[in-house]
């Protein structure tokens, strides 16, 4: 299935909330206690996704339907989630490439992200390096960053 990355439309919000909640319950639940997963799921509703779209650039990866999402605010990455049925097919990498390219177009020279235990190895694989760790209400969080290439290499949507 060919996957393309495009900008978010309001109509994507229920599907994004569904993907995030499935990831939290089926993947991230390995690293967090149940009450933390419940709190995070309650936070990521379709309404919340629409609220966030006012301040964040949200992207979706779409084949026959939406299968992943990522967003950025300035040079910070948020909400990187791929439908567990489609994990390990390069969709996360494709989404991150798009978000990095658009940050380059906006003049940023580096990207920052916060990663849970689950996603830490993913970001290291994509060339991010550890800056520090912090304890949040959701547990251990890795802060990572990556230097971005010059603007001429960017491919904006
Ligand atoms: C982490 C996640 C976004 C990765 O998406 P994905 O589409 O499965 O990742 P890709 O297939 O694009 O993988 C890109 C590379 O990272 C590697 N990788 C993916 N997940 C990894 C992990 N958890 N640990 C180590 N490496 C990982 C892949 O092997 C691949 O390497 P390669 O290109 O050299 O073969 C996805 O598994 C997910 O949504 N997880 C649950 C939600 C989550 O934790 N989100 C982040 C919140 S901070």
| pLDDT value, residue 31 | 85
| pLDDT value, residue 111 | 97
Determine if ligand 1 sits within 6 Å of the CB of residue 121.
yes
Candidate of 119, 138, 144 to mutate for ligand 1, largest count of ligand atoms within 8 Å of Cβ:
119
Determine if ligand 1 sits within 6 Å of the CB of residue 29.
no
Specify which residues 78 forms β-bridges with: 71
Q: Given the CA of residue 114, which atom of ligand 1 is nearest to it?
A: 48
Specify which residues 127 forms β-bridges with: none
Sequence-separated (6 or more) residues with CB below 8 Å from residue 12 = 49, 58, 60, 66, 69
Q: How far is the CA of 35 from the centre of ligand 1 (A)?
A: 24
Q: DSSP label at 63?
A: S
Structure tokens given for 46: 């379709």
Determine which residue's CA is closest to atom 20 belonging to ligand 1: 122
| pLDDT value, residue 138 | 80
| pLDDT value, residue 47 | 97
| pLDDT value, residue 155 | 58
Could you tell me the mean pLDDT of each successive run of 10 residues in the chain, 157 residues long? 96 98 94 91 96 98 98 97 97 98 96 94 98 88 94 56
> What domains lie within the chain, and their CATH numbers?
4-153 (3.40.630.30)
- How many CB atoms within 10 Å of residue 46? 16
* Strand-by-strand arrangement of the 66-73 sheet: 4-7, 57-62, 66-73, 76-82, 110-115, 139-147, 129-136
Indicate whether this model's pTM tops 0.85: yes
Distance CA 67, CA 26 (A): 15
């Amino acid at each position: 299935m060919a996957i393309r990355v495009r900008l978010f439309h309001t109509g994507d919000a229920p599907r994004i909330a569904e993907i995030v909640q499935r990831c939290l319950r089926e993947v991230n639940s390995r690293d967090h206690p149940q009450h933390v997963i419940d709190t995070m799921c309650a936070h990521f509703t379709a309404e919340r996704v629409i609220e966030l779209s006012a301040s964040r650039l949200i992207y979706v990866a779409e084949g026959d339907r939406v299968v992943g999402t990522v967003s950025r605010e300035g040079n910070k990455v948020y909400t990187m989630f791929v439908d567990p049925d489609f994990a390990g097919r390069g969709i996360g990498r494709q989404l991150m490439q798009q978000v990095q390219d658009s940050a380059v177009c906006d003049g940023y020279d580096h990207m920052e992200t916060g990663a849970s235990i689950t996603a830490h190895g993913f970001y290291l694989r994509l060339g991010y390096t550890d800056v520090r760790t912090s304890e949040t209400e959701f547990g251990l969080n890795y802060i990572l960053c990556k230097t971005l290439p010059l603007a001429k290499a960017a491919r904006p949507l």
